[in-house]
Structure 1
Amino acid sequence: MALFLAVIFISVRIFNIFLNALNLIHSTGTKAKIPVFLSSEIDNTEFQKFKRYNREKILLSIYSDILDAILTTLFLFLVYQKLESLSNVTDSQIFNGLLFFVFIGIIDFVISLPFSLYNNFSIEKRYGFNTMTAGLYIKDLLKSVVLSVVIAGPLLAGSLWLLYNVNNWWIPLSVGVLVVQLLAGWIVPTLIMPLFNKFTPLENENLKMKLEAVAKKAGFKAKKIYVMDASKRTRHSNAFFTGIGKSKKIALFDTLIDSCNEEEIEAVFAHEAGHYVNKDTIKNIFIGSFFLILITYLLWIFMNSQIAQNYFGVREKYTVLLYGIIFIGALFSLGRGFLNALSRRAEFKADSYAAKITGKPENLANALKKIHKLNMSNLNPHPIYAFFNYSHPTLEERIKALTKS
């Protein structure tokens, strides 16, 4: 059984590596060409730079996935058992469990740090995206560690208490995680993101009026509109809004404002408003809740099956929980294509809404072109890779749909 589970886990990881390799060859090989709709906006020199950037990003992902697959397999058979023994220092199983996951967190940090540093200070820096200083990187890292201890620590302790004290723990755990996820939708942009970024009120009154008008048409109030100083870390651009009910806070990356004109920013915001009108957030909550409850229930079944105890030699519930997360998570990762298909469908509808409410689909099309160009996005992703990994339609698919609007 242990070998069978390991084969399933490794097969899933190999499949993911295969998808990346497929995408690498398709999107950065000699056959990759500039899409027709961008031929007048991107010359061959720029396109070759796009390909080099994406090649480096994909290769780094492949190397990371290979190392992760090898190390996780070794840990499943040789290391987690020893970490469990090292963590068994008190009579409190909850404390021991927290210590166990601290060990896991430290190991994961040490392994992932070189990849993060190389990505940010080599790849992103060389292609003009990373604007972070080493000091800011370390500062962000320390803040993240503190937040993990302050927030994740108590949540993990509560989860472990349920594991050891409640027979059908999957029920209250599912409810608890759902509540935390709902609260996170407000807490993250309101309390946590300001710890890392500065949010200042939008000074452009004309743009502000346009965004407020779009919000009004969509049926909600643009309570506050902010500009986020994303440029102090990256030149990538984005926009988002948050809030419960009909009152929303809007945040625009300063990089978006610098790269797009007012009509294009209005179209981007109209797309986000389309998600509200189409109730995509509510739909995602229901879909996410279903899968969360299902996964938690399967974890409960796995932990009661004694598979990890009998075949991997672990004893504590917190260690068994980790094994369940690894195996069940690997299987469910294959279903991401289905979830991403639903997400892409929602994105098409939001694009359609933006085109309709602004009356000028070309504004959103131009904004998307600029954003993809600014981000050096992959312009030729492999269709199979995109099916499993893209939550948004490809640029070509979106432009074609907008052209028909």
Structure 2
Amino acid sequence: MDTSNIINIIDDTVVKNGILILLWLEFMWETYLSIRQFKKAQSATEVPEVLRKVVNKDEFEKARQYSLAKLKFGFVKDTHGIIITSLIIYYGILAYFWDFSDSVNPVKGEVTTSCIWLFVVTLVSTIIDLPLTIYHTFVLEEKFGFNKQTAGFFVWDKVKAFFVNQIITLSISSLIIVIIKSGGPYFFIWLWLVVCIISMILLTIYPAVIAPLFDKYTPLPEGKLRSEIEALASQLKFPLTQLYVVEGSKRSSHSNAYFYGLFNSKRIVLFDTLLAKDDGTGCQDDEILAVLSHELGHWSHSHIIKNLVLMQINLFLMFLGFSVLFKYPPLYEALGFYNVKPVLVGLFVVCTYVMIPYNTLLSFLMTCLSRRFEFQADNFAVRLGKSEPLERALLKLNKDNLGFPINDRLYSAWYHSHPPLLERISVLRESGGKTK
């Protein structure tokens, strides 16, 4: 049987059932992994030896209960998601949204109808997910002392995020449609080049222009910590131009630090929750310097550039796959689109559903690569003599964030982009010993 005959017998029902099977296989695999981790957390009641000087029995139990609560919430959220997605595909609900969008579109045309359709789909999806979002923020996170948001702040934050996201998404989507429709047989090359440029622009302007719409960024005050950070950057020839503290405590007590910026203009951002507090939470100056040494290790090893290159290669492959499949009618008919073949819908179907095996494999490989990068960044900090303060910082941050350090190996390998705490400390101690 030749290829054309094979294609002819693959109708919309086969495509629809194939998509549903892929989705449910992925759901069952990830549920199985979560069950393994849930059982692991249930049975692990003793504080590991390496944590006993930092975490007492009650604190360990609270972290264990937080882990179990998040896993239970994950079960509900994932089950809710797979059921809603299956109903949408099975009953062709996206096609109903398209018909509605076309009927209210005052300017008939695929670009404007697609934008209305995307807005409606995103709005409905946000509303459907809202109860779970509220529960996660005001029940789960609140119970364990992490939520700092008021109801008013939460609502305003979500409204801002929704409309900022719509402005960006609809603008890019419109451009994508035009390129696909007018780019000829090799449109995927032009599409890839344009999306590459847009992604680089967004990476540049997001921290400086968009992020301040949601959080307050202030320069780190003059003092010992600022001087030591600037000295560290100078020692490593890191092109530091700005040093900020972000007011993350108004939404959560979780801690973090990061840097951003391209070329010779880098900015370091510390969460205010990372700084030492009177209640004993947060990190001391030498521990913060160790955390930043780790982050600068990512810069020294060009991890950001490597990830960007991999992201662009992935985009090219996805657009190439889309260019091969997007004119195939059963892809649209599987979702209820019998009379029209909107290219934005085709892009969504191919990249989200048809390429599930590819996306799943890629995600796992990127997780493996990320863990390798984390070890390299830790080793960079060790070579700077930061092994001991980095270990203290990791232990404190794990304690402050109620991190549960005991993981099922398969679950951790699949999900954790950072190495597990106990493994990370073991490697730190071994590497630190070698440098002494």
* TM-based fold match above 0.5: yes
Residues 188-217 of structure 1: per-residue CA shift (max 9 Å, x gap)? 110111111111111152111211122122
In structure 2, which of residues 312, 324, 341 is the aligned counterpart of residue 316 of structure 1?
A: 341
What residue identity is the alignment partner of 1:6? Answer: L
Pairing 1:5-84 to 2, within 5 Å after superposition? 5-26=19-40, 28-78=41-91, 79-84=93-98
Residue 307 (str. 1) matches residue 320 (str. 2): no
How much has 1:305 moved relative to structure 2?
Answer: 2.9
* Partner residue, 2:125: 108
Residues 258-293 of structure 1: per-residue CA shift (max 9 Å, x gap)? 210000000000111111110111111111111111
* Partner residue, 2:418: 392
Residues 300-335 of structure 1: per-residue CA shift (max 9 Å, x gap)? 222133331354441322323222232145321233
* Partner residue, 2:18: 4
Gapped regions of structure 2 (runs ≥ 5):
1-13, 277-281, 432-436
* Partner residue, 1:271: 294
Q: What SS is found at the alignment partner of 2:242? A: strand
Q: Could you say if the C-alpha distance between residues 306 and 41 of structure 1 is closer, same or farther in structure 2, counting changes exceeding 3 Å?
A: same
Residues 185-244 of structure 1: per-residue CA shift (max 9 Å, x gap)? 221110111111111111152111211122122222321111111111110000111122
In structure 2, which of residues 366, 387, 394 is the aligned counterpart of residue 361 of structure 1?
A: 387
Q: Could you say if the C-alpha distance between residues 328 and 187 of structure 1 is closer, same or farther in structure 2, counting changes exceeding 3 Å?
A: farther
Residue 136 (str. 1) matches residue 153 (str. 2): yes
Gapped regions of structure 1 (runs ≥ 5):
none
How much has 1:34 moved relative to structure 2?
Answer: 2.1
How much has 1:17 moved relative to structure 2?
Answer: 2.0
Q: What SS is found at the alignment partner of 1:378? A: coil
Contact 2:94 2:335 in 1 (8 A): no
* Partner residue, 2:110: 93
What residue identity is the alignment partner of 2:27? Answer: R
Pairing 1:222-233 to 2, within 5 Å after superposition? 222-233=240-251
How much has 1:64 moved relative to structure 2?
Answer: 1.0
Pairing 1:317-396 to 2, within 5 Å after superposition? 317=342, 318-331=344-357, 332-357=359-384, 359-396=385-422
Structure 2 CA distance for aligned equivalents of residues 59 and 107 of structure 1: 25
How much has 1:50 moved relative to structure 2?
Answer: 0.7
Pairing 1:142-181 to 2, within 5 Å after superposition? 142-167=159-184, 168-181=186-199
Contact 1:336 1:389 in 2 (8 A): no
How much has 1:377 moved relative to structure 2?
Answer: 1.4
Radius of gyration: which is bigger?
2
Contact 2:27 2:82 in 1 (8 A): yes
Contact 1:34 1:379 in 2 (8 A): no
Residue 122 (str. 1) matches residue 139 (str. 2): yes
Residue 186 (str. 1) matches residue 204 (str. 2): yes
TM-score, normalised to structure 2, is 0.89
* Partner residue, 1:261: 284
Q: Could you say if the C-alpha distance between residues 398 and 204 of structure 1 is closer, same or farther in structure 2, counting changes exceeding 3 Å?
A: farther
Contact 1:197 1:228 in 2 (8 A): yes
Structure 2 CA distance for aligned equivalents of residues 11 and 252 of structure 1: 40
Structure 1 CA distance for aligned equivalents of residues 371 and 242 of structure 2: 28
Q: How many residues get paired?
A: 403
Contact 1:242 1:250 in 2 (8 A): yes
What residue identity is the alignment partner of 1:147? Answer: V
How much has 1:175 moved relative to structure 2?
Answer: 1.6
What residue identity is the alignment partner of 2:144? Answer: Y
Q: Could you say if the C-alpha distance between residues 329 and 60 of structure 1 is closer, same or farther in structure 2, counting changes exceeding 3 Å?
A: farther
* Partner residue, 2:312: 289
What residue identity is the alignment partner of 1:403? Answer: R
How much has 1:32 moved relative to structure 2?
Answer: 4.8
What residue identity is the alignment partner of 1:81? Answer: A
Q: Percent identity?
A: 27
Q: What SS is found at the alignment partner of 1:334? A: helix
Q: What SS is found at the alignment partner of 2:241? A: strand
